[in-house]
Structure 1
Amino acid sequence: MKKTLMLSLCAVLASPAFAATDPVSARQDIFKQFKKDAAAMGKMVKSDTINKDEFSKLAAHLDEVAQQPWQHFPAGTASGQAARKTEAKAEIWSKPAEWTKAVDSFKAETGKLKQVAANGDAASIKNQFAAVQKTCKSCHDAFRKD
């Protein structure tokens, strides 16, 4: 029993350390936060029940995490190259100018969403949320295997 408990404890304690050193895990964890925030905001937008305080918090969090995953794309972590399963296409590294433009566009649109969520009306929020979604789709189409 003690041995099982110790092995379980070691596994739990080692997991965050592995994630911190594994760029694929790190970026996937951040993208999961994107998805969670976007899903909650999307639900409000689709149902026409935008709680401005909650939406504003979600938009601010999305803008914060929008700055984070890009450092976790070192060379050698594309699909088929990385030790972990990933959908990152090699085009991220073979077309760095296009990749940077897509990343910068996403960051800009999430920044605008944060501002609009804090100050705008429901129509402006919906339009800006759609703009953020458009940048997501554009990046996925070019740089993510489906």
Structure 2
Amino acid sequence: MKSKLLLALLTVALTGSAVAQVKPEDAIKYRQSGYVFMGWNMGRIKANVEGQYNKDEVIKAANAIQAIANSGMGALYLPGTDKGKGWEETRAKPEIWTDKEKMGKVATDFVREANEMAKVAATGDAAAVKMQLGKLGGTCKGCHDDFKVKK
């Protein structure tokens, strides 16, 4: 038991120091890449529910979104990443850093709906996937509306 606790604490400590060593411009690139990849996978699901449905493709896309949602991307909102350039200038609004309660709710809602999308996708029920895609997309929109500068 003590060795498991020690291993868990060591893992957390090493992860924290690894994130702390990320340069701000790299952190911005990593999070921009994650969001673009999730967007591509949302598009894959949408194409399937609006066209010829392929359960395996939907499952792959849903699992990719779920993995990113649960990856701890919030750690990439490091001090110094409120301004600067990754692949492009960051469009994160200052409220991400100042309205932690609202940001936490938005992030929690997104993770919950991403996890549910993976479960629903596994059923192969195209109508249920379409409904869940709307819920998941709503969490994305909520974050974009409140925390992302429009182009």
Please confirm whether the aligned pair reaches a TM-score higher than 0.5, indicating the same fold: yes
* 2:66 aligned residue: 63
| Structure with bigger gyration radius | 1
Query: Root-mean-square deviation (CA), in Å?
Result: 1.4
* 1:17 aligned residue: none
* 2:55 aligned residue: 52
Q: Which amino acid aligns with 2:84?
A: A
Secondary structure in 2 matching 1:42: helix
- Alpha-carbon deviation of 1:121? 1.4
1: distance between equivalents of 2:36 and 2:125? 28
Secondary structure in 2 matching 1:86: coil
* 2:84 aligned residue: 82
1: distance between equivalents of 2:99 and 2:68? 24
* 1:102 aligned residue: 106
Secondary structure in 2 matching 1:114: helix
| Conservation of the 8 A alpha-carbon contact between 2:120 and 2:128 | yes
Question: Structure 1 residue runs of 4+, over 3 Å off?
Answer: none
Q: After the TM superposition, which residues 1-146 of structure 1 pair with which residues of structure 2 at under 5 Å, given as runs? A: 21=23, 22-47=26-51, 49-68=52-71, 69-78=73-82, 81-84=83-86, 85-146=89-150
2: distance between equivalents of 1:139 and 1:53? 28
Unaligned stretches of 5+ residues in structure 2: 1-21
Which structure is richer in relative contact order (CA contacts within 8 A, separation 6 or more)? 2
| Conservation of the 8 A alpha-carbon contact between 2:92 and 2:149 | yes
Unaligned stretches of 5+ residues in structure 1: 1-19
- TM-score if structure 1 supplies the norm length? 0.79
2: distance between equivalents of 1:126 and 1:83? 35
Pairs aligned (count): 124
Secondary structure in 2 matching 1:97: helix
